[in-house]
Amino acid sequence: MTCDSRIACVRIYSIVALLFASAAAPSFAQYDPPPGYYDSATGTGATLRSQLQTIMSTGHVQRTYGDFRYASAIIDRDPNNASNILLVYNRQSVPGAWNCSGSCVWNREHVWPQSLQPGSASNSSTGNLGDPHALRPCDDGINSSRGNKPYGVYSTVGVYGSQGSFYFPGDADKGDIARNLFYSSTRYGLTLVNGTPGSNQMGDLASLLRYHHTDPPDEFERRRNHTIYSSALNPTYYTNNRNAYIDHPEFAWSALGPGNNNSKLYVGSTAPGNGASDTTIDFGTVIVGAASPSAQNVTLHKIGSNPTYYAVTPDSGATSSVEGRYNAFDIDTQSRNIAVGVAGPITSAGLVVGTVTIDNIDVSSGGTGMGSADGDDLITVQLLALDHADASFDDVLDQNTLTIDFGTVTPNSGLRTATFRLHSLDTTPGFTANLDIDAINATGDTGRFATDLTPTGNLPPEWSHTYTVTLDTAATPGAYAAVYTIEVSDEDLIGAQDGVSLELNVVAEVDAAGRLYPFDDNGNGSIDLSDMLTFEGCLSGTIGSGPLVAPCDNHDFDFTGINDGSIDLRDFAAFQAAFGN
């Protein structure tokens, strides 16, 4: 690093230290003016221009043309490299330290050429000649090629360079240059004209107004304006005044343009007379916990020959791809898409609603529904959020298991059936998803049981279905059991999840001797001679061998004694009473 004096080096090192200390730049909103700074800017036209001149002059600390050699390292700092600055026109990043030994790394560009304003610049010059709002760091060769040409010959796209007798500042800086000139004209009473300027004039105003609306203030420009003003960010070279056309770009058309603004903004198919349009975007239905659906485009239209600035403000329930006050339309009919959505995640069931408000913020009006009289445009976004479905075997309680017991049955006595109901509970009344039955998984003695329960979808809340379980009694005597696991989920919507599986247990016992009634030993449905012969054998002990009761264990004739361990005359009396029934 080389310096043209020891004092300059001290200044440069101090500046670099300040830059690194402030590398964590304030958020975009923190570049706003202090509350109340523009409260007195209430008029339109020449009145507004006079009010802005007073605001930008009051408390203004004048700086010199020489000060800019060191101030630029602070106010034009490259946000990606604290040691560098960004040059005007080409936005090249170069070291911010002032170095003009031999040739300059960068020099000082008078946006309003000094030959087209009173006075001649020296390092001690103040006023517009030394005002950092009117100066920009520039590549030496580009500065020379621009000379004192006015800006003009509007171009929608392109890079900097001469266009005949005019100069185009390039897309990145055309709006910045326009607002530099708007400041100089208003603060110091200099004259902007359409076409080629004369002595102590600058132009082309018509092109500058279009630059202003096609290149709104960006973060770099807003930070620059705030840093020029701020004693906290720029303690040595602050000016304590701001460029009103950066803070409030909507002032420009009224204060410097040809007249009242006739623009009208609207959404939807037609423009209401008062300009207050509205449209609703329905994002359908999702399940609680889902991410927000993808945003959808809404077309914002502008009619009227004049350009305008507009603000876009989403509330907490909405999102918008465009936000803030730094949005503009160019001349004539225009339209553009704004992607709007519902703010997420979706945490509770019910109707979720958000709004995006679009405000034409021009301060002048050409008539009903135009400019400042243009009513706000409202985009409503909404979706229906449903709570998760919940399956149950009970219509009130959340019952996830059920046992069906067929009891003791006789072999080959036909099919036995039982029914059960599967309910879809209304977990959040009015806002619960439908229930899907996704799969039925059976384990155990599935050859003995069957069910008509099958996968199905969209069982609404508070609805239920009745299902049947069937037992086939054509089975070897013994105990049988099967488990049916019922897998359920939410209906097929964004955010759907699997629910808690239900478990249906089915049990039955086919009696080892097939008894349907007491003493019906052969299981034929009546107590007859065959049963009597078997009973007599047990009573006399002639069946089998061993202890008296043991050979008759599987015949269960020990009735009246209530399993007292003996088959005796009391049991015989009970058998006689039942015989033939």
> Average of pLDDT values for 110-115?
97
**What is the DSSP secondary-structure string of 212-271?**
HHHS---HHHHHHHHHHH-TTT-TTT--S---HHHH-TTHHHHHHSSS----EEEESSS-
**Residue 492 — φ and ψ, nearest 5°?**
-75, 80
**How far is Cα 346 from Cα 327, in angstroms, rounded to an integer?**
30
Strand partners, 356: 314, 379
pLDDT band for 3, please (50, 70, 90 cuts).
very low
* Neighbour-count burial of 46, counting CB atoms closer than 10 A to its CB (0-12 exposed, 13-18 middle, 19+ buried): exposed
* Neighbour-count burial of 481, counting CB atoms closer than 10 A to its CB (0-12 exposed, 13-18 middle, 19+ buried): middle
**How far is Cα 390 from Cα 288, in angstroms, rounded to an integer?**
13
> Average of pLDDT values for 217-229?
98
Domains of the chain in sequence order: 6-256 (no CATH), 264-386 (2.60.40.10), 390-510 (2.60.40.10), 529-578 (no CATH)
482-521 confidence digits (pLDDT tens): 999 999 999 999 999 999 999 999 999 887 554 445 666 6
442-464 confidence digits (pLDDT tens): 999 999 999 999 999 999 999 99
Q: Please say if the pLDDT value at position 119 is more than 80.
A: yes
pLDDT band for 565, please (50, 70, 90 cuts).
low
Question: Which pLDDT score, from 0 to 100, does residue 1 have?
Answer: 35
Residue 553 has which token pair?
Answer: 């264990």
Question: Which pLDDT score, from 0 to 100, does residue 116 have?
Answer: 95
Residue 207 has which token pair?
Answer: 């092109």
Question: Which pLDDT score, from 0 to 100, does residue 536 have?
Answer: 78
412-447 confidence digits (pLDDT tens): 778 899 999 999 999 999 999 999 999 999 999 999
Residue 63 has which token pair?
Answer: 């700086």
Question: Which pLDDT score, from 0 to 100, does residue 154 have?
Answer: 77
End-to-end CA distance of the chain: 121
Q: Please say if the pLDDT value at position 284 is more than 50.
A: yes
Contacts of 339 (CB under 8 A, 6+ apart): 295, 296, 297, 298, 320, 321
Based on its alpha-carbon atoms, the radius of gyration of the chain, rounded to whole angstroms, reads 45
Question: Which pLDDT score, from 0 to 100, does residue 545 have?
Answer: 40
Distance from chain centroid for Cα 416:
57
Question: Which pLDDT score, from 0 to 100, does residue 540 have?
Answer: 66
pLDDT band for 159, please (50, 70, 90 cuts).
very high
318-351 confidence digits (pLDDT tens): 999 999 999 999 999 999 999 999 998 999 999 9
CA angle 458, 455, 402 (to 5 degrees): 95
Q: Which long-range contacts (CB under 8 A, 24 or more apart) does 51-56 make?
A: 52/186, 52/244, 52/251, 52/255, 53/186, 53/187, 53/189, 55/244, 56/183, 56/186, 56/187, 56/241, 56/242, 56/243, 56/244
**Residue ranges in 389-528 assigned as alpha helix (H):** none
**Which amino acid is located at 496 in the chain?**
A
Question: Which pLDDT score, from 0 to 100, does residue 20 have?
Answer: 34
Element (H, E) at 208: helix 205-214
518-533 confidence digits (pLDDT tens): 666 666 667 788 778 7
> 48-62, 209-223, 551-565: which has the minimum mean pLDDT?
551-565
Tell me how many helices (H) and strands (E) the chain has: 11, 27
Residue 383 has which token pair?
Answer: 């979706």
Mean of the per-residue pLDDT values of the chain: 89
